[in-house]
């Protein structure tokens, strides 16, 4: 998606009203961009903590099904966050200047 300034719009790590995606037209140096970077870092950190928690819980025979369902729900939320981060970052990657790979590649 192209912004008013001709740059790619950044998908932000939060939703707007009614759950709709929020985009930012920016050069990446403003306050909202830095806030989005900080929130993405927190989301990725939380995802890592959930993975570590799951690694400890899964082999534990004393863990209840309710605990595992709760963990699965939180992991699904974290996976949605990571997917949004990947989509946002992928959309901001530069497009290669060529259309076809060079011969021999």
Q: Given this model, what pLDDT does residue 104 score?
A: 60
> For 15-51, what is each residue's pLDDT tens digit?
988 999 999 998 888 999 999 999 999 999 999 999 9
Q: Given this model, what pLDDT does residue 94 score?
A: 80
Distance, in Å, from the CA atom of 70 to the CA atom of 32, rounded to the nearest integer, reads: 32
Closest residue by Cα to residue 28 from 98, 105, 104, 91? 91
What mean pLDDT do residues 70-93 have? 94
> For 67-81, what is each residue's pLDDT tens digit?
999 999 999 999 999
């Amino acid at each position: 998606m192209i912004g008013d300034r001709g740059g790619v719009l950044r998908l932000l790590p939060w939703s707007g009203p009614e759950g709709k995606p929020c985009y930012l037209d920016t050069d990446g140096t403003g306050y909202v961009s830095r806030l989005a970077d900080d929130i993405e870092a927190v989301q990725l950190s939380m995802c890592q903590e959930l993975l570590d928690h799951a690694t400890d819980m899964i082999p534990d025979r004393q863990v209840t099904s309710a605990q595992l369902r709760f963990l699965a729900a939180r992991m699904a939320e974290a996976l949605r966050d990571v997917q949004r981060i990947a989509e946002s970052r992928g959309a901001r990657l530069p497009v290669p200047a060529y259309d076809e790979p060079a011969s021999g590649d």
